[in-house]
Amino acid sequence: MPAAPDFPPAPNRVAPKRALISLSDKTGLEDAARALHDLGVELVSTGGTRAAIAGFGLPVKDVADLTGFPEMMDGRVKTLHPVVHGGLLGVRDEPSHAAAMTEHGIGGIDIAWIDLYPFEATVASGGGFEAAVENIDIGGPAMIRSASKNHGYVAVCVDKDAVDQVLEALKADGATTLELR
């Protein structure tokens, strides 16, 4: 097991500038995306989620515009990129992390709203082996783990209830707290 680095303490308050949203279940997406946008948070998204947000008339940046790589291999590779994971994992107050982020053009991601492909529902529906295989999520769990590892800076939302809590905090105080994150 690697030794724990001696990072500066995480801030109590983080005023988010950027949210990465990647959802299979888009329930509540329009209201939440609109609220984030109205609060000045840049929206970044993938594939169908990006199309849905754009369809609501909201500005949204495609994750491919951040990474410089298109979604590829039938959507299997979208977010597995150092720009995404560096934005989630970068300890903003650690000089070496901040320098690496600057050097490589990595912007911080302050909110990660990610849910996973509906693997269990696909299997339960009898969708077949190939459908089940395609619903094994790789990028979603990786982003959730990256964001969770850096919860000192990133609010991790895996469902609409968590997003509602973040929005409530932002509307009240303009920031998330360490306890909430």
Q: What are the CA-CA distances from residue 15 to residues 4, 20, 36, 81 (Å)?
A: 26, 15, 12, 25
Domain assignment present for residue 144? The answer is yes
Q: Is-contact 67 84, C-beta < 8 A?
A: yes
Report whether pLDDT(6) > 80: no
Which of 96, 42, 89, 41 minimizes the C-alpha distance to 65? Answer: 42
**Which of 94-98, 124-128, 145-149, 169-173 is the least confident region?**
124-128
Position 12 confidence tier, pLDDT thresholds 50, 70, 90 = confident
Query: pTM for the whole thing?
Result: 0.89
Q: According to the model, what pLDDT value does residue 128 have?
A: 81
Q: According to the model, what pLDDT value does residue 123 have?
A: 64
Domain assignment present for residue 116? The answer is yes
Q: According to the model, what pLDDT value does residue 119 have?
A: 64
3 state DSSP class of 86: helix
Q: How many domains does the chain have?
A: 1
Q: CA–CA separation, 13 vs 113, rounded Å?
A: 18
CA-CA-CA-CA torsion for 101, 102, 103, 108, nearest 10 degrees? 30
Report whether pLDDT(103) > 80: yes
Domain assignment present for residue 63? The answer is yes
Q: CA–CA separation, 161 vs 116, rounded Å?
A: 15
For 126-153, b/e burial (b = at least 16 CB within 10 A) is eeeeeebebbebebbebbbebbeebebb
Going by the DSSP 8-state scheme, the letter that residue 104 receives in this structure is: T
CATH of the domain at 113: 3.40.50.1380
Angle of the 82-89 helix axis to the 139-149 helix axis, nearest 10: 30
Domain assignment present for residue 8? The answer is no
Q: According to the model, what pLDDT value does residue 72 have?
A: 73
- Which residue did the predictor score with more confidence, 32 or 116? 32
The domain in which residue 138 lies consists of 13-177
Domain assignment present for residue 118? The answer is yes
Position 1 confidence tier, pLDDT thresholds 50, 70, 90 = low
Amino acid at 54: A
Give the tens place of pLDDT for each residue, 66-80. Answer: 998 888 787 778 788
Q: According to the model, what pLDDT value does residue 122 have?
A: 62
CB-facing half-sphere around the CA of 161: CA atoms within 13 A? 0
Write the CB contacts of 79 (distance below 8 Å, at least 6 apart in sequence).
20, 22, 46, 63, 139, 142, 143
Q: According to the model, what pLDDT value does residue 168 have?
A: 96
Residue range 11-16: mean pLDDT, rounded: 89
Q: What are the CA-CA distances from residue 2 to residues 5, 89, 94, 146 (Å)?
A: 9, 16, 18, 16
Domain assignment present for residue 2? The answer is no
Domain assignment present for residue 4? The answer is no
Give the tens place of pLDDT for each residue, 114-143. Answer: 998 766 776 677 878 787 677 667 788 999
- Per-residue tokens: 46: 């993938």
Domain assignment present for residue 154? The answer is yes
